[in-house]
């Protein structure tokens, strides 16, 4: 064997080793996150129960029902509409593992855009996962992409024509669940997931629904509650409650002509009161520096601190950052305040959720204390 053959052989071996290791990392994203139903969960179902052809695909996802057995309102909580926004997902996990419903019923879908948890967005340098220390062990959760996995409906069109409005959006928004409502049973995979959620809202007679999100600290709609016009009185009442607890939320109205969004289409097409909540997530921001697991969990980024110092931020940002525990605490407290306000406006439909950590409690004890 000549010398250049030996060199080529060595290079092939190195490439094979690198590809094998990278492939193993890539395939790890297909291993489902462990979510451990708590004592409040009375039934575990699949989203495919509401749109059959999702069954057996990476777009099907678990639906956890917490039913008090007492009459009252039904609430729906969606986490993971955008799998790169971990506070929405983790809030749904805390509810699934820790909450107990005393009156009415709560339906939780922690990973509604399930296929988006099997990949990350290209060119962002996102970590594949992050870890949280609980009382008993270290648990790892996947950090996903903004939309559905491109492999589920490749290729993206150049222009996405939103159904049924015909509104034109950039091509990659075709995989954005929060542009795909009301969806359709024979549409793209993302539209079929949206259709299944709409079917669930109808069939389960959902009264109030939450879509939990995060956004970059520099965007205008941050630390906010977005409401459909029919839910604005309850939202305003919840805001007063939250203000009295020193928790500032901006109230944003759902734009009537911006189609495909949960707070618009759920509200227009069903009896539900829809709310979308946003927390501030530095890892999504354009100013961020080192992009790693610590930024997901601790939310500390020096560049955002500097931006806040020169008055370029709409929210306060100090050296404590925006830790995941605080973001989950805000979502949980916002959700409880909205449920309380909803009950005030419709006293005949009660919904009482216990064992939800208070904002200060989750800050003091940490997120892991409320997970198995
Ligand atoms: Zn989002």
User: Ligand 1 center to residue 276 CA distance, Å?
Assistant: 9
Same domain, 253 and 354: yes
φ, ψ for residue 248 (rounded to 5)? -85, 125
User: Ligand 1 center to residue 92 CA distance, Å?
Assistant: 14
Q: Is the dihedral of CA 116, 118, 284, 138 positive or negative?
A: positive
Question: pLDDT at residue 1 above 80?
Answer: no
**Residues facing 77 on adjacent strands:** 108, 210
Nearest to 110 by CA among 331, 326, 267: 331
pLDDT tens-digit series, residues 294-336? 999 999 999 999 998 998 887 788 889 999 999 999 999 999 9
Same domain, 262 and 286: yes
Nearest to 132 by CA among 365, 366, 333: 366
User: Ligand 1 center to residue 165 CA distance, Å?
Assistant: 21
Tokens 């729906």 sit on residue: 76
Same domain, 24 and 140: no
Same domain, 97 and 22: no
Mean pLDDT, range 241-259, rounded to an integer = 96
User: Ligand 1 center to residue 231 CA distance, Å?
Assistant: 20
The protein residues having their C-beta less than 5 angstroms from ligand 1 (an ion) are: 82, 85, 213
Query: Which element (helix H / strand E) includes 138?
Result: strand 138-142
pLDDT tens-digit series, residues 68-127? 999 999 999 999 999 999 999 999 999 999 999 999 999 999 999 999 999 999 999 999
Query: Which element (helix H / strand E) includes 155?
Result: none
User: Ligand 1 center to residue 215 CA distance, Å?
Assistant: 6
Q: Which domain holds residue 181?
A: 37-370
Rounded-to-integer distance, Cα 334 and Cα 326, Å: 12
Same domain, 293 and 199: yes
Same domain, 20 and 56: no
Rounded-to-integer distance, Cα 72 and Cα 69, Å: 9
Same domain, 133 and 6: no
User: Ligand 1 center to residue 251 CA distance, Å?
Assistant: 16
Q: How many other CB atoms sit within 10 Å of the CB of residue 351?
A: 23
Q: How many other CB atoms sit within 10 Å of the CB of residue 168?
A: 11
User: Ligand 1 center to residue 19 CA distance, Å?
Assistant: 33
Same domain, 172 and 75: yes
Nearest to 57 by CA among 189, 195, 196: 189
| Burial profile 62-73: b = 16 or more Cβ within 10 angstroms, e = fewer | bbbbbbbeeebb
Same domain, 164 and 232: yes
Report the CATH number at residue 107: 3.40.630
CA 36-111-171 angle, 5° bins? 165
ipTM of this complex prediction, to 2 decimal places: 0.99
User: Ligand 1 center to residue 216 CA distance, Å?
Assistant: 10
User: Ligand 1 center to residue 221 CA distance, Å?
Assistant: 11
Q: Domain count for the chain, please give it.
A: 2
Same domain, 17 and 117: no
Same domain, 116 and 177: yes
Same domain, 165 and 222: yes
Residue 288, CB half-sphere, CA atoms under 13 Å: how many? 23
Rounded-to-integer distance, Cα 247 and Cα 336, Å: 13
Mean pLDDT, range 39-57, rounded to an integer = 96
Question: pLDDT at residue 221 above 90?
Answer: no
């Amino acid at each position: 064997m000549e010398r250049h053959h030996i060199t080529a052989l060595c290079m092939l071996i190195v490439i094979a080793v690198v590809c094998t290791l990278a492939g193993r990392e890539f395939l790890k994203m297909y291993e489902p996150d462990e979510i451990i139903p708590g004592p409040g969960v009375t039934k575990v179902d699949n989203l495919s129960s509401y749109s059959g052809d999702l069954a057996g695909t990476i777009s099907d996802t678990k639906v956890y029902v917490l039913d008090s057995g007492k009459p009252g309102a039904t609430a729906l909580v969606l986490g993971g509409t955008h799998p790169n926004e971990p506070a929405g997902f983790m809030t749904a996990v805390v509810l699934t593992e820790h909450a107990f419903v005393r009156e009415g019923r709560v339906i939780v879908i922690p990973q509604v855009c399930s296929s988006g948890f099997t990949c990350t967005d290209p060119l962002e340098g996102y970590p594949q996962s992050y870890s949280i220390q609980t009382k008993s062990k270290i648990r790892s959760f996947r950090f996903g992409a903004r939309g559905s996995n491109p492999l589920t409906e490749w290729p993206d069109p150049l222009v996405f024509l939103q159904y049924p409005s015909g509104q034109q959006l950039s091509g990659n928004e075709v995989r954005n669940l929060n542009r795909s409502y009301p969806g359709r049973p024979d549409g793209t995979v993302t539209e079929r997931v949206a259709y299944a959620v709409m079917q669930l809202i109808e069939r389960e007679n959902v009264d109030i629904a939450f879509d939990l999100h995060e956004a970059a600290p520099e965007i205008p709609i941050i630390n906010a509650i977005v409401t459909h016009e029919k839910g604005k009185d309850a939202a305003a009442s919840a805001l007063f409650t939250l203000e009295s607890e020193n928790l500032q939320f901006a109230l944003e109205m759902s734009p009537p002509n911006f189609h495909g969004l949960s707070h618009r289409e759920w509200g227009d097409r069903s009896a539900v009161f829809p709310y979308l909540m946003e927390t501030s997530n530095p890892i999504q921001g354009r100013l961020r520096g080192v992009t790693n697991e610590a930024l997901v969990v601790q939310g500390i980024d020096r560049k955002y601190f500097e931006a806040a110092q020169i008055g370029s931020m709409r929210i306060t940002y100090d050296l404590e950052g925006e830790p995941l525990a605080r973001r989950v605490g805000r979502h949980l407290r916002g959700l409880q305040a909205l449920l309380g306000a909803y009950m005030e406006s419709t006293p005949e439909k009660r919904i009482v959720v216990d064992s939800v950590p208070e904002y200060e409690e989750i800050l003091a004890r940490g997120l892991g204390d409320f997970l198995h």
